[in-house]
Structure 1
Amino acid sequence: MATRTIRFKLYALLSLPIVALIALWTFVTGYLVGDLFELRQATTLYDRVSAPAIALTTEMQNERKFSAAALSKSGSQPEELSEVRERTDKAVSEFRTRVTSLEATSIIGPELDASIKQVMGEVGRLRAIRRDVDGRVSSRLQAVQAFSRITDTIYRLQDKLVTVPEIGLYQQAIGLQRIAHARDLMSREDSLISSAVLAGALTHDEYEAIEVIAPNRWLLFSEGMAVLDGELRGPFEELLSSPRHGRITEFEKQIIETSRLPRDRGSWQAAAAEVGGEMDQLLITRAKLLNDRADDAAGGIIAKIIIAGGLGLAAILGAMILSARLGRGLAEELGSLRLAALDLAEARLPQVVERLRKGESVNVETEAPPIPTTGTTLEITDVGRAFSTVQRTAVEAAVGEARLRQGFNRVFRNLARRNQSLVQRQLVQLDSMQRKTTQPEALEDLYRLDHLTTRMRRQSEGLVILSGATAGRTWRTPVSLMDVVRAAVAEVEDYQRIVVPPLPEARLTGSATADVTHLLAELLENATVFSPPTTPVNVRGETVGRGYVLEIEDRGLGLQDMEREGINERLATPPEFDVADSEQLGLFVVSQLAARHGIKVTLSRSPFGGTTAVVLIPRTVLAEPETQEASAVRALE
């Protein structure tokens, strides 16, 4: 096959499927099949979620009424309340069983699942609500409101269950939801008024609650009735225009206008029970009728699917076969290129860079072979060649950078070694001059010059450390940690401010003495530089379980939390030296020396507002304690 462009193959791959699928199958699946599934889903949701939720609401309403009545009576709880609670518990169990069934969980989405969990969470408060009712901790209004919070959660769940795609069915379902919610508001009124009849009067809070509930109930009834069609609305209109519902409305108006129960108190309970029962039955039958309509609509959609699917099947199959052939070839080419690119980016180049960092030699020809391209698509072949070029360029750049870095390191090391030699000779000369001089003023000047030269030696050692080599100074025998601290203090310009009390006895191994001295000198230098010249820098030390801890505390302005965290991270994980970051050479030197001997350096906030550098020297760097015999011999010497 001749080499083709990727545009040609994509057009050939997508032209026929787009025409066929958009013209035929997209119409079928996008509208008809989607509507069918949504209607079937709505039916399943009604059976598995909505129906048990309605039953649970009814039982909650009954228990709400009986609980309010129980709070209006003195003495023990009536037996009827226990029976109502048993029915409520059964409704809760049935609701939980249905919503957690396999059929329900397979169609419940995240939003609906969250609403179901909210319902179960509110239902979980039943035990506390009942306990408050039994203990007469709650008032009638509080009990009614507690149960109403549960039913409100159920109604919010019911609102999300209205998912039918057909706009007419959707409007009818919303109308029924409004009427059902109005029925719940009437049940709340019934609970408050019936219990108040038993007690003999309404409380002020109960009156205010009824004053809010009644208008909302009328509004929900009117909104629900406005969207229902004649078949669904007719029975409700008959009930709402009946004398029995008129008595309910008249009672509500009397209570709102007079702020007290009407004289004919006994008529309310009978009217409310009669109207409530009829409305519950109407809601059940109307919901069943609406569900049957959804099933009928689904049957019509199935017929449309069969007709449209049969007409477009041949074209769709042909398009899919051609798309599969072209797509398979293109996918294989892109897959091979993808694997080669991933291998380059995730394996080969990182390995080359790691080897270069370790100082190993790398052969560009061996490590950067051309990426094989066996495809027939022109653009993919070009991309493969471009990856090969990029790979070779990257490896050559990495090799060049490694050589440049090695060259810089050699320059640093050579210059530092030369400076070290000169500074060491200067120190020897100064020591000789100090021994020969007896004049105090000249001796003081020589001491000052000796101190300055010691600092110069530390700077030279810092350059050696930057180059990756060791400082050069070594001790064959262990050295007292107190002497190490004093040597570090001597390398600091403002050494007079450093306060070093006697430290607990400890000794460093000879191989670590020079590095630890340099590390402490850098930290002491920072403490004196970044604190007022009139404040002291305190050094403390103690033996701990994991080794020996030295604390260097200054009384400066301290560091910001983010800045201190960044420095601690660099101290814990020494970064690769960056020539551009020359302002923090001391920090880099400290991190390198600490990593070399397993020392942990951490900066923290000082109680005085400054910074405390905590240096944990591990036991591997500490020498064994000096024996009494050796100490005595050394004292005699």
Structure 2
Amino acid sequence: MASRTIRFKLYALLSLPIVALVALWTFVTGYVVGDFFELRQATALYEQISAPAVALATEVQNERKLSAVALGKAVSQPEELAQVRDLTNKAATAFRLRATSLESKTITTPELGEAVNRVIGEIGRLRSIRRDVDGRTANRLQVVQAYSRITDAVYRLQDKLITVPEIELYQQAIGLQRIAHARDLMAREDSLISSAALAGALTHDEYEAIEVIAPNRWLLFSEGLAVLDGELRGPFEELLSSPRHGRVTELEKEIIETSRLPRDRSVWQHAAAEVGGEMDQLLVTRAKLLNDRADDAAGWIIMQIVIAGGLGLAAIVGAVVLSARLGRGLAQELGDLRLAAMDLAEVRLPQVVERLRKGESVDVETEAPPIPTTGTTLEITDVGRAFSTVQRTAVEAAVGEARLRQGFNRVFRNLARRNQSLVHRQLAQLDAMQRKTSEPGALEDLYRLDHLTTRMRRQSEGLVILSGATAGRTWRTPVTLMDVVRAAVAEVEDYRRIIVPPLPEARLTGSATADVTHLLAELLENATVFSPPNTPVRVQGEIVGRGYVIEIEDRGLGLQDLEREEINERLATPPEFDVADSEQLGLFVVSQLAARHGVKVTLSRSPFGGTTAVVLIPQTVLAEPEPEGVSAVRALE
């Protein structure tokens, strides 16, 4: 995340409660507005889909009954049936137009649209049903069931149209829907019983159908009444307890118990027609009453929107004004403290540390004055005093660390110089002993001691380099790079594995000879240590446009890409010596020597899987070619 100012973060912190308040206000207002729109949507669905669907179900019920009656007569009544079919067609057309209109599509969900399409699909089967009725190719029960599939689709659609958000209105709508479905079951019974009365008897299949329809009607009726409140339930309870409804129930039970039509067949048609018509009227009036309730609920919701929205907006404005005033004052105080802290961290302390590195003396009192603070906030004043204390402690710690580092460097340098003196004396003694001895075995032992002493000299020089001083060995005249490489090989313990072919002729200045020899010896030592003992280490040299390149290639396991990049970064920009980091002293020495003479050292992946160290010696430390006839062999002790 990008860095932010104190002012920004302070305002962001102060904005959190405001944002929470805005979010809460938005949620409450949006929730209430959502309820309002859902109620309006429920009203629109009732007008565009539900009402046409109810009208369609009523006409289908009428056509179903007349179609079943026509099949029960010996001679059909085409004129009366045609009139009913015409009314059904008009209701189907009205439903199709309003349910698929643009206004309806904007408020219907995919699930609701699927239910509408199912009703339209069932309407499309009317022609086939009527053809079976006219041709008498289907019996009464089959025709009733075929028409009932249309009404079933309508009632399934009605179930999905109940979308009012208020739970009480939702429960009342569900109750009315149950009663409407019970009314349709009663109409099915009426169709079967009325047509059977004309035919003279019920068939076995018709009796079994009535045996299922009647209990379901009673169940749906009771479930619907149980949900409705007193105002909606009262008229239905009156109808339920009336003698005319009781007569219909008694006739249903008689048919179920006796498995045949009642003795007085005309009683059923009269009672069913009376109860059915009254129930249809009650369903229409109760549905309108429920719709009016939804409109009233929408009006109350509008009032809630005005109250909640107005009070919430006033609270938000007040919070914003108060937070802005408080935030402006705190931001000013924190801004002044920030500038003082940045001046301390980026200007004064770095200057003090740089002077200490150069060895200059520093007065703590002068370099660590108290940090000034503005404002009246107690916590900010305390932070300013704490910064002043931290500043003084940091300067004192830097002074102490500089003195400690200087002391360490002096200790390293003194110890290294003493070791160097002893090693030089030992080398001189070994050289004298080699001149006096001609016995091969003794000479070989003396050569081993000489090789070991040479390595000890390199370790002593490493300590001198760590202390920041020069190694001490210098040459007045240039030395060939071939001799420099050989001298570096001689300082490596496992020198026998190192293969050095003849290198192109080039000379190194005397002032850089000791450091480059030490640098190459450290790289050769690493190559032999970090590769299998049975593999060679190859050294190659080549003159290039920018100087002289020496490549040291081993056949070890190599380095991981990330580790190699980190080492190359340290070789390119030598860090300050850290006493705690003692595992890679050789690389630190190499980086210091390379930086001293402008030599560039880079590690890369070897074709054999190991590591290749590429040393680029610049032209500035290369000497002019030696004139012909002058020996290029120089002693490198």
TM-score, normalization by structure 2: 0.53
After superposition, give the CA deviation of every residue in 1:585-605 in whole Å (9 maximum; x if it has no partner).
111111111122222222233
Q: The residue matched to 1:543 in structure 2 has which SS?
A: strand
User: Are 2:455 and 1:455 equivalent residues in the alignment?
Assistant: yes
Name 2:476's counterpart in structure 1.
Answer: 476
Name 1:507's counterpart in structure 2.
Answer: 507
Q: How is 1:350-361 mapped onto 2 (pairs within 5 angstroms)?
A: 350-361=350-361
Q: How is 1:571-610 mapped onto 2 (pairs within 5 angstroms)?
A: 571-610=571-610
Name 2:433's counterpart in structure 1.
Answer: 433
**1-structure distance, mates of 2:540, 2:477:** 24
After superposition, give the CA deviation of every residue in 1:224-276 in whole Å (9 maximum; x if it has no partner).
899469x99999789656659999xxxxxxxxxxxxxxxxxxxxxxxxxxxxx
Q: The residue matched to 1:470 in structure 2 has which SS?
A: coil
Q: The residue matched to 1:353 in structure 2 has which SS?
A: helix
After superposition, give the CA deviation of every residue in 1:141-197 in whole Å (9 maximum; x if it has no partner).
xxxxxxxxxxxxxxxxxxxxxxx99557899999xxxxxxxxxxxxxxxxxxxxxxx
Does structure 2 retain, via aligned residues, the 8 Å contact 1:32–1:301? Answer: no
Does structure 1 retain, via aligned residues, the 8 Å contact 2:465–2:589? Answer: yes
**2-structure distance, mates of 1:544, 1:171:** 87
Name 2:399's counterpart in structure 1.
Answer: 399
C-alpha deviation, 1:483, in angstroms: 0.8
| Pair 1:489–1:225, CA change in 2 (3 A) | closer
Name 1:534's counterpart in structure 2.
Answer: 534
Moved more, 567-576 or 398-407: 567-576
C-alpha deviation, 1:28, in angstroms: 5.7
| Pair 1:514–1:169, CA change in 2 (3 A) | farther
**1-structure distance, mates of 2:321, 2:426:** 88
The amino acid that maps onto 2:449 is L
C-alpha deviation, 1:620, in angstroms: 1.8
**1-structure distance, mates of 2:43, 2:487:** 91
Q: How is 1:138-177 mapped onto 2 (pairs within 5 angstroms)?
A: 166=37
Does structure 2 retain, via aligned residues, the 8 Å contact 1:458–1:491? Answer: yes
Q: The residue matched to 2:621 in structure 1 has which SS?
A: coil
Q: CA RMSD in A?
A: 4.6
Q: How is 1:29-44 mapped onto 2 (pairs within 5 angstroms)?
A: 32=29
Name 2:385's counterpart in structure 1.
Answer: 385
Does structure 2 retain, via aligned residues, the 8 Å contact 1:172–1:228? Answer: no
C-alpha deviation, 1:550, in angstroms: 1.1
Does structure 1 retain, via aligned residues, the 8 Å contact 2:483–2:633? Answer: no
Q: The residue matched to 2:525 in structure 1 has which SS?
A: helix
Name 1:517's counterpart in structure 2.
Answer: 517
| Pair 1:14–1:356, CA change in 2 (3 A) | closer
| Pair 1:438–1:27, CA change in 2 (3 A) | closer
| Pair 1:573–1:18, CA change in 2 (3 A) | closer
Name 1:622's counterpart in structure 2.
Answer: 622
User: Are 2:316 and 1:338 equivalent residues in the alignment?
Assistant: no
**2-structure distance, mates of 1:559, 1:425:** 40
Name 1:368's counterpart in structure 2.
Answer: 368
Name 2:570's counterpart in structure 1.
Answer: 570
Q: The residue matched to 1:583 in structure 2 has which SS?
A: coil
After superposition, give the CA deviation of every residue in 1:57-92 in whole Å (9 maximum; x if it has no partner).
xxxxxxxxxxxxxxxxxxxxxxxxxxxxxxxxxxxx
**2-structure distance, mates of 1:172, 1:487:** 101
C-alpha deviation, 1:431, in angstroms: 2.2
**2-structure distance, mates of 1:597, 1:625:** 20
How much identity, in percent, do the aligned residues show?
78
Q: The residue matched to 1:581 in structure 2 has which SS?
A: coil
User: Are 2:547 and 1:547 equivalent residues in the alignment?
Assistant: yes
The amino acid that maps onto 1:509 is T
Name 1:251's counterpart in structure 2.
Answer: none
C-alpha deviation, 1:377, in angstroms: 1.6
**1-structure distance, mates of 2:609, 2:443:** 39
Q: The residue matched to 1:620 in structure 2 has which SS?
A: helix
The amino acid that maps onto 1:607 is P
Does structure 2 retain, via aligned residues, the 8 Å contact 1:240–1:246? Answer: no
Does structure 2 retain, via aligned residues, the 8 Å contact 1:21–1:316? Answer: no
The amino acid that maps onto 2:602 is T
**2-structure distance, mates of 1:358, 1:21:** 56
C-alpha deviation, 1:500, in angstroms: 1.4
C-alpha deviation, 1:626, in angstroms: 2.1
C-alpha deviation, 1:436, in angstroms: 3.1
Instruction: Mark the runs of 5 or more structure 2 residues left unpaired by the alignment.
Output: 1-9, 46-99, 129-298
Name 1:410's counterpart in structure 2.
Answer: 410
Count how many residue pairs are aligned between Structure 1 and Structure 2: 397
**2-structure distance, mates of 1:446, 1:599:** 35
**2-structure distance, mates of 1:341, 1:34:** 48
| Pair 1:21–1:482, CA change in 2 (3 A) | closer
C-alpha deviation, 1:373, in angstroms: 1.8
The amino acid that maps onto 1:342 is M
**2-structure distance, mates of 1:465, 1:493:** 21
The amino acid that maps onto 1:446 is L
The amino acid that maps onto 1:487 is A
C-alpha deviation, 1:568, in angstroms: 2.5
The amino acid that maps onto 1:563 is E
Does structure 2 retain, via aligned residues, the 8 Å contact 1:239–1:245? Answer: no
**1-structure distance, mates of 2:409, 2:379:** 44
Q: How is 1:165-244 mapped onto 2 (pairs within 5 angstroms)?
A: 166=37, 227=108
Name 1:444's counterpart in structure 2.
Answer: 444
**1-structure distance, mates of 2:44, 2:486:** 88
Does structure 2 retain, via aligned residues, the 8 Å contact 1:352–1:362? Answer: yes
Does structure 2 retain, via aligned residues, the 8 Å contact 1:551–1:613? Answer: yes
The amino acid that maps onto 1:550 is I
Name 2:286's counterpart in structure 1.
Answer: none
